Structure formats: structure tokens, C-alpha cells
Structure 1
Amino acid sequence: MSLQAKLDAFKADFEAGKPPYNVPASVIEVMRRATAELVASGAAEHTLKAGDKAPSFTLSDPEGNPVSSADLLAKGPLVISFYRGVWCPYCNMELQALEAALPAFHELGANLIAISPQTAVNSRKAARQNHLDFPILSDTHNSVAAAFGLRFALPDYLVDLYTSLKNDLPSFNGDDSWTLPMPGRFVIDQDGMILYAEVNPDYTHRPEPEDMLPALRKAAQSHIG
């Protein structure tokens, strides 16, 4: 089953209020409204695209060690997945799909990292729960996400909903800004050029990991050449 098929199946059960979710229709309506408004805002049109230069960055891994994009790119192409946090089931399913594709990325000489605004303890939890063999880096204040054009502020009514559901993003992220990244996937070649970019303001839609393989093959051939 494809990643998107799994996401669609989960979404159908979740929005239908099936156990164990039992989510009221009013909650679903607020979530749909926020997503529709983000889509309509055109925010995704202002993100970095294929052909743009990727910003360089240094972020901490769950053990507090600095990880720099320059060091990673010195080893080969880089796959980056920006995601919301361990509290997001769609994100966890995406991480699992990326883990399954990791051997194919490594075969093409690429490294994979995930970037989230969450704290190190939550990154460790995400890695443990999803059995990940690639690092999750903490992007405090969504600063790197902002450099890629992904950061957005949650509307007040969605903040109220998250608060009522005990989905306390300031605690998850160690940051009071109530901002998140739009889910984004990028392939960057060793020269720092973005070869592949996929951003969707609707967090229930994610690209397939296999979609990045042509860009990774191009990066590998370019390096050999």
C-alpha cells in the first residue's frame, strides 16, 4: 500500500469518528477550515523550489550534537523531510515510509534527515516509536523551516482547539510561538542546489518516498560526472 493510501485510510477513519478516535464532527470541521485557509493563502507558492539554492544550517540531533548541512552534503546528496511532530499521526506514517525507503537512498549515496520544531526528548520518542535509523533534528522556532518558506502561524481558533485537546505545542516544541512547518520534502545535491521540492499546505497529503529517486539518481550521476 502506498503512503498516501495509508494516510487516506487513516483520515477516513479519523474523520468518521471511529474508535479509538471518537473525534466530534465540530473538531473535524475546525481542522478542515484551518487547512483550507492555509491552502487558499497561497503560502506554499512562496516556498523554495527545484532550482533554488538551499540555505545552509546547523541543528542539534536528539543527543544535542550539532549536525550541519555542509557536513552532510560533503558526504553525498541530502534528503530532508520537514514534519510537524510526534503528536501528528500523518507525520509518523510518513517517517515510517521514509525509513522503509532508506536503503534505496543509501544505495544512491544519499543521507536522510527529518527536521521538526519539537524538543529533543520528543525527537527521541519519535525515533523510538517509528524505529528510525535516520536522525531527527530540532529546529527551534522553526527557523530553518522559515528559511525554506515553510513556517506559518496557527490561527487563533486552531490554537484554542489544540489547547482544548491538550495538544500543547509550546510544551512539545519548547517555544511559545504556535508556529509549524508545512510538511515539505527536498532533495539537495552536493552543490547545495535543490533538485526536488514538494510542499503541501494540506498535512494529510505527502509525496511517496519513491518520487525522489529520479532526483537522487541525477545527483549521483552529476557527482560521478
Structure 2
Amino acid sequence: MSTTSIAQQIDDFNTGFEAQIGDRLAGVFAGEQEDLRADGIPAGALGVGDEAPDASLLTADGQTTSLSAALGGAVGVVVFYRGAWCPYCNITLRTYQQELIPALRERGAQLIAVSPQTPEGSAKITDDAALDFAVLSDPANALAEGFGIVTEPSADARAAHTELGFDVADSNADDTARIPFPSVYVIDAEGRIRFADIHVDYTTRTETDEIVRAVDALGHA
């Protein structure tokens, strides 16, 4: 299905990024990723068989909605991402737009992307990446908390972000640096989780073909 995997795209990006920021800052981020992998998936994270929680969300134009309203009783793929500032998120969402959306539409399923950033941030990534699916804001990570997947950058990583000219808290709707682990959930028409893939290392993501196989396992919606 994919000509270039997300993993390969990320590897290619990292080569240039690390050369650009230098060994010291690259080492900070590598250390953060190592710590995240060592800590593993949070004990309270929801998984296959659990009922998907609900929470109030905001559309890219600031209108109030919810996960259940966005799903509308159909099979849905819910993607938690960190924000428009995250290059790994941008690579992933662009790939999903190009390769996953057509496959999901053939199957009567939909894609919903959720982050704690402001609606303005959701609108920016929607426009910049020409996304043709719901991109919703989760103020204060209420939905991500329900799924049990909230984290935040380490103090060293935030200091490195500052050196690079940004702060996660400036992008988030609640002015904190709390973000979800990049995660993909396939939720069936009854609102139950049928596939869960949580990435504690934010440089890795769920490939398109994995998601399509999970949706196919449900039968066409």
C-alpha cells in the first residue's frame, strides 16, 4: 500500500534534523526517547476490549463537539498526535491523508485526529497538510486522560525546545506542556476499542497497513 513507510520518512527526516541541531541537542532528545521507552506504556492506558471514553472537543473553527458526535455511530480510527509543532506528527498525518483516507472511505470508516493544541493550531495543520478529515482539539487533554495516555516533555527536552525557538505550552489550549503519547485506536460502531497502538517513543508511528488490517478485521462498516 505504501511506497515509503512512515518509519523510513522519519529516518530520512532525522538524518537532516540531527545534522541541523547538532550533537548536543540531538543527544537531549535521544535521552528523552530512551527514558520514555524504559518507562513503557502507562499502566492505566486503555486497550482492546475497553469502551472508548468521551469528552468535549473543539473543531478547527472553535465549535464544540465530542468524540461520540464525531464518530457518529460508525467505525472510526482515532489518532492522538502531539501538535502541529511536531514534525513526526506532520509526516504521519500527511501520510494518512494520502494513503489511509482512501482505504477508510472504501470501507465506510472515518479518521479523526486529536491533539491538545488550540483550534487555531488544528486549522493550521489542516491547511498546511491539506487534510480532508476531522482535526479536533482536546482542551486540557480531557479525552487523552480518559484513554490514559497523557505525558509531557522532560525538563531537558523543553529547554532544548526553547533553544530551538518554541515551547509546547504556547501551542496548547490550556497553556501547559501536557501532550498525549502518539496513539491510534480503532473503535467499532458500538464504541468499543478493537485495536490500540500506543507509541511512547514519539519518533515511531503506526503504519497505514496496520490500521487498514485492523479495520478489515471488523468487516466493512
Instruction: Tell me the TM-score normalised to structure 2 length.
Output: 0.91
How far has the Cα of 1:38 moved from its partner?
1.4
Q: Which residue of 2 aligns with 1:145?
A: 144
Secondary structure (helix, strand or coil) at the match of 2:179 reads strand
Q: Which residue of 1 aligns with 2:10?
A: 7
Matches within 5 A, 1:1-225: 1-15=4-18, 17=19, 22-100=20-98, 101-221=100-220
Q: CA offsets per residue over residues 182-216 of structure 1, 9 Å max, x none?
A: 10011000111111111111111111112112221
**Range 195-204 or range 207-216, more displaced:** 207-216
Q: Distance in 2 between matches of 1:24 and 1:153?
A: 23
Query: Where do 5+ consecutive residues of structure 1 fail to align?
Result: none
How far has the Cα of 1:42 moved from its partner?
2.3
**Range 22-31 or range 146-155, more displaced:** 146-155
The letter for the 2-side match of 1:156 is A
How far has the Cα of 1:217 moved from its partner?
2.2
The letter for the 1-side match of 2:52 is A
Q: Distance in 2 between matches of 1:12 and 1:59?
A: 36
RMSD between aligned alpha carbons? Answer: 1.6
Secondary structure (helix, strand or coil) at the match of 1:219 reads coil
The letter for the 2-side match of 1:9 is D
How far has the Cα of 1:148 moved from its partner?
1.0
| Paired residues of 1:72 and 1:111 also in contact (CA < 8 A) | no
| Paired residues of 2:141 and 2:180 also in contact (CA < 8 A) | yes
Q: Distance in 2 between matches of 1:73 and 1:140?
A: 18
Secondary structure (helix, strand or coil) at the match of 2:28 reads helix
Off by >3 Å, runs of 4+ in structure 1 = 43-46, 72-75
Q: Distance in 1 between matches of 2:189 and 2:73?
A: 8
- CA 1:10–1:44: 2 relative to 1, 3 Å: farther
The letter for the 1-side match of 2:206 is P
How far has the Cα of 1:68 moved from its partner?
2.3
How far has the Cα of 1:124 moved from its partner?
0.9
Q: Distance in 1 between matches of 2:64 and 2:219?
A: 26
How far has the Cα of 1:99 moved from its partner?
0.6
| Percent identical | 34
The letter for the 2-side match of 1:38 is L
Secondary structure (helix, strand or coil) at the match of 1:198 reads strand
How far has the Cα of 1:45 moved from its partner?
5.0
For these two proteins, the number of residue pairs brought into alignment is: 217
Query: Where do 5+ consecutive residues of structure 2 fail to align?
Result: none
| Paired residues of 1:150 and 1:181 also in contact (CA < 8 A) | yes
How far has the Cα of 1:12 moved from its partner?
2.2
Instruction: Tell me the TM-score normalised to structure 1 length.
Output: 0.90
